[in-house]
Every structure is written in C-alpha cells, then in structure tokens.
Amino acid sequence: MPKRSSKADCDTSFLAGEMSENQWLSVTYQPVSLFSLKRSDATSMAARSNLVPTPYAIKMALLKVLLETQGGKHQTDLDAWIKSQFTWIRDLQIYVLPPERLVVNRNGYKLRYWNQQADKDYRKQNNKEAPPINPMQDGFVFREWVYLEGNIQICCGATNRLAELEYLFSQINYFGKRGCFFQYLPEATLPTPQPQFQPTPERGFTIQPMDDLGEKTTFDKINPFSSNKAQLDKDRVIKIGFLPLQLTATSARYDLYTRS
C-alpha cells in the first residue's frame, strides 16, 4: 500500500501562488474501511447514507487539509488568505466514479439518549432551573454502512491550481464520518484537459442527492466557528446526481449495486 506523503517532506512552494493552465484532475482512493455519510434529508434517528462522497464532503475535506497544513503560516492575514483559497475550492466542479461493486448494509441500534422534551418541561415547571439529572429515554436508530469493493475515483476542475489541488488530495485520508478511511493512490493521479469521466444516464443510473457549496457562499457561512448561519438552497445546495450504478440484489438487510 503506498505510503502517505509526509507534510514536512512535501514541497509546498506552489501554494504561494504558482499556477498552471486550467485542467481537470482525476484522483483515486482505495477504501480501507466501511463508508457512511448521512444524507442531507435524513433525520438524526433514521439516517440513510450516501453511496459515495458528495461534492460538499469532498470540498470540506480539501478545506480541512488546507487549513491544517497552511493556516498556521497566515495568522496575520488569515481572513484575506482563506477568502481567496475558499473561492477556487468552492468553484470546483466534481464528478465521482463509484467502484465496481458496493453493498449497503442496513443496521438498527437500540440506545438511550437525552430527552429534550422532558428537559424543557422540567425547566418550565421549575423557573428555568436545570434538572438535577439529565432526563434520558430509550430509542431506536437506523444507520447504513457501505462496503465499497474496488477503488473510487474523483474528477474535479477546471482549475489553474493543479499542483496545489493534487497536494491537498494526497493529504486526505477519510471522507464522511470520522473513521471512514481511504488510501490515496498517487500512481493513479491523472491531469487531463477535459473531464476523464462524466455522468452518462443513458447507460443506467442510480439517483443520489448531491449536496454542494452554493455559487456565492463564503467561508464565514460554512465556518462552524462563525456566527453567520448557512442557508439551505443558498449556501448549501442539493442537486440531483446520477451515479453509474444498478441495483442488482436487495433484501431487508442489504442492497447490492454494480457499476453499469
């Protein structure tokens, strides 16, 4: 398995502003654990998973790596720097090619969790005083985990920051929930003047809602430490995505998809 690049060993001189012609970049990852990414329309108790990482999840992973590797060098001009960096990442167009086969495993869990309504009722009856013990209740949650058999490819562009984009992808080691690990495969990275692959609905497809960053959103809107709140359909938009997958087998506990 290829060794992940060390941050200290990587030449990051291109991050200072060196640019190339607009091109597309295709990168490949090998899944090394189960994948799960709650759909945007899911509830906290019943959460279906996306089949592959969405453009929003991929761009947030790029921003996370960017801040971790370069944010410390811009403590005096962080606002201006992240504004310019966020803009080119936000404007990337991203296509995802699933692996040859994937299996969606459905699971149910029984647990105890905080009873929000009981907490409100106690505070209302006791002059807003907090309860001595957090009220709990029994519940049942539904989750999905996806086994990806084969490599997953991501194609994004067009951008004149190809070297920087490749470096950021090389530092990503998970998409979706923490613990959903992926291994970057450097030998499979390919720059092209046009997208290496695009959705082809005429060959058969599965529809997946694909959330993405809005065209005019700003870093402050998606920054969890900012007081500005992101708005659905403005700062975070949900589009219809066509994945080249066909449902070939299903049961009460799993779905099997194969790439068409």
pLDDT tens sequence across 63-80: 999 999 998 888 888 889
pLDDT of residue 159: 92
Give the whole-angstrom CA distance, residue 254 versus residue 145: 10
Residue type, 15: L
Distances (CA, A) of 150 to 106, 114, 154, 210, 257: 20, 39, 13, 21, 12
| pLDDT at residue 103 is higher than 70 | yes
Give the whole-angstrom CA distance, residue 227 versus residue 222: 10
Label residue 107 by pLDDT band (50, 70, 90): confident
- Where is 30: in which H helix or E strand? strand 23-31
Give SS3 for 255: strand
Write the DSSP symbol of residue 167: H
**Judging by beta carbons within 10 Å of its beta carbon (0-12, 13-18, 19+), is residue 147 exposed, middle or buried?**
middle
The answer to whether the beta carbons of residues 52 and 96 sit under 8 Å apart is yes
List phi, psi (to 5°) of 196.
-70, -30
Label residue 2 by pLDDT band (50, 70, 90): very low
Give the whole-angstrom CA distance, residue 26 versus residue 189: 6
Give the whole-angstrom CA distance, residue 154 versus residue 29: 8
Tokens for 237, please give them: 């938009």
Domains and CATH numbers, the chain: 13-259 (3.30.70)
The answer to whether the beta carbons of residues 99 and 152 sit under 8 Å apart is yes
| pTM score | 0.83
Label residue 20 by pLDDT band (50, 70, 90): low
pLDDT tens sequence across 8-18: 445 555 554 55
Over residues 213-233, the mean pLDDT reads 88
